[in-house]
Structure 1
Amino acid sequence: MCQRMRIWSLSFNYKCNMETIEKRKFNKRAFVSIVMFIALAGLPVSGIMNHNLQFEPLIPARHFWMSVHNMSAILFTVFAVIHISYNWRPLLNYVKRVKKITVSKEAVLAVVLVVFIVGLFSSHAFHVGG
């Protein structure tokens, strides 16, 4: 029973799940993807906190959030490069299969919408201070 049990199954038999986990080989690709996801999730949170603390002197809280943001960005970048190297062959196969690049109406509208909203909300920076 334990050999066929999946790790993500809802089982209250802790010993059986631990045996299954211990027998499974370490998945480097999954590890890299999870590190990337966690680092990416930390970037907006730390970025918002940096924005909220931007006018404070260099207090410990501001230094902490700057460090979290910088380290999350470094981790994400390093593991993104590793992720690309692990998935290089599938990426090349995908590019070779795509003969013609087609851009959907939805993609164009999404790009226009994001550029418009970001431009609208960031344009105030050019009006500050005269």
Structure 2
Amino acid sequence: MAEAIASNLAARLIRQLVSLATNKVIQKPEWEKLRNSLLAVGGAKGTDILVTTRRQEVVDAMRCSDPYQVQKLSKEDSWELFKYRAFTDGGVLETEAFAALGRRTVKRCGGLPLAIKALGGL
């Protein structure tokens, strides 16, 4: 049964992009198992595996061939992203009180775009 599922999955992953967003703490042996499974199932020529993480040990365990380190947003860019998400397209009116709350929220996000985007969209 497992072989049939793996075979079916492998056929569907040919020339595809596999995206893996990591947000759980997993020990190195589990990362290596995950990497080996992804290579076995989706390792067909033309298949890309995209791993996102903030942890260098994940990059090392997954043996990423071409890592790209994304920098945190500046305070100004963070605020612009938050404003775009919170105050446009049917969002709340940008009042002084909401702007102050937004600035405190942006500060707590520490320049992380995904956090800013998520909280700005609430």
Report if TM-score (shorter chain) is over 0.5.
no
TM-score calculated relative to the size of structure 1: 0.25
The structure showing larger relative contact order (alpha-carbon pairs under 8 Å, at least 6 residues apart) is 2
- Structure (1/2) with the larger helix percentage: 1
Rg (Cα) greater in structure: 1
- Structure (1/2) with the larger strand percentage: 2
TM-score calculated relative to the size of structure 2: 0.26
